[in-house]
Amino acid sequence: MSAEALTENSPASDFWLGVRASIPTVVAASPFALLFGALAVDNGMSVTEATLMSATIYGGASQMVGIELFGHQVAPWLIVLSIFAVNFRHVLYSASVGPRLAHWPPIKQAIAYFFLVDPQYAEAEVKSERGEEVTFVWYMGMALPIYILWVALSAAGATFGGLIPNPHAIGLDFLLPIYFLGLVTEFRDRPLWLPVVLISAAASILAYKFVGSPWHVSIGAAAGIVFAAAMPKRGAAL
Amino acid sequence: MSTTLWIILAGALVTYATRVGGHLVLSRFEHVHPRVEAGLNAVPAAVLTTLVAPAALGAGPVEWAALGLAGAVSLRGGLLPMFLVGAAVLIIGRHLVG
């Protein structure tokens, strides 16, 4: 993205590059953290439980689904299963980003996988797509601001429930799709990008209508991935 | 321990399993088949698209304008400019359209 990113970086500047990469996510996720905290308390959780959920699960969409079901007195195992279903896409992230972290010491890898949320994965892929090394320092520089803000603002939202007077007016509900679209276009140089995007979009919309959330994520993604794997030769078609 | 605590900790455990599991399973294989590699190459675009498409379809003109302009910016500029443009269009649009 910028000239200094192409040179060898000191650990400190590598850390700050990571922090800079976290900014869009921090901006986009902060309102959701507040909202999550407020909704969790609204659905019968304590402030401590809401905060603990953000600190240990650290996955916005799955936490939202979790507290929604929690509020409806759904069986505990079903809540856990739903959290698993929403987060299942991380298996793919993990498999895909794994080789880029494989040269780190195991303990650092174990720590890094805990923080492997959507934007973290995408930025790591984007970085290595540019031919840069994904370092642990850079990775944590991006992960820590997001994580700390996520946990702190969940606690704040849980404590001051009605903090957001009109979430719709500040675009709260639609900031993440915009950000995710930006991430999608970052990968436009990859083989079969356009057909994969079109197929996954169509499949996720159909699954959303006929199967329901959160399965549209797994089904839509599977359609694009299977298509890419089934094509005869990489990049030959387009 | 309360049931709620169990739900949270079990949820955390299965989530961590998804984040570390893909790598643990795949790293057992010496060679990655070209089709598997092609599939893995498609993962980010495929997954991230599913977080946009249904949300876009269920939205209105203001959201479409925000996505469209942000998308156009993303083809030229980086992630942060596109995000800020999208957020600005969204907030201004909603104030105008209500």
- Residue in chain A closest to B58 (alpha carbons) equals A205
Tens of pLDDT along A49-66? 999 999 999 998 788 878
**What is the pLDDT at residue A7?**
52
Among the listed residues B86, B56, B61, the one whose alpha carbon sits nearest the alpha carbon of residue A171: B86
Tens of pLDDT along A95-124? 989 999 999 999 999 999 999 998 999 999
CA atoms of A57 and A70, how far apart (whole Å): 15
Give me the sign of the Cα torsion angle B83, B84, B87, B92: negative
CA distances from A56 to A11, A192, B48, B72 (A): 27, 36, 23, 37
CA atoms of A104 and A128, how far apart (whole Å): 15
State the complex-level ipTM: 0.82
**What is the pLDDT at residue A8?**
63
Interchain CB contact of B16 with A (< 8 Å): yes
CA atoms of A36 and A42, how far apart (whole Å): 10
Question: In chain A, what residues touch B52 (CB-CB under 8 Å)?
Answer: 177, 180-181, 184, 201
CA atoms of B75 and A67, how far apart (whole Å): 37
CA distances from B12 to A16, A54, A58, B9, B77 (A): 29, 9, 8, 5, 36
- Rounded to the nearest integer, the mean pLDDT of chain B is 89
Label residue A1 by pLDDT band (50, 70, 90): very low
CB contact set of B66 (below 8 Å; sequence gap of 6+): A171, A174, A178, B86, B87, B89, B90, B93
Q: How far is A237 from chain B (nearest CA, A)?
A: 13
The 8-class DSSP code of residue A130 comes to T
Among the listed residues B63, B16, B77, B48, the one whose alpha carbon sits nearest the alpha carbon of residue A187: B48
Interchain CB contact of B41 with A (< 8 Å): yes
**What is the pLDDT at residue A2?**
46
Label residue B43 by pLDDT band (50, 70, 90): confident
Tens of pLDDT along A139-187? 999 999 999 999 999 999 999 875 566 666 767 678 778 878 987 898 8
Tens of pLDDT along A64-100? 878 877 877 778 887 898 788 778 888 889 998 999 9
Question: What's the distance, CA A43 to chain centroid?
Answer: 24
Domain boundaries of chain B, sorted by first residue: 50-98
CB atoms within 10 A of CB A220: 28
Interchain CB contact of A31 with B (< 8 Å): no
Question: In chain A, what residues touch B90 (CB-CB under 8 Å)?
Answer: 171, 174-175, 178
B55: three-class secondary structure by DSSP: helix
Question: In chain A, what residues touch B14 (CB-CB under 8 Å)?
Answer: 80, 83-84, 87
Among the listed residues B65, B69, B70, B68, the one whose alpha carbon sits nearest the alpha carbon of residue B94: B65
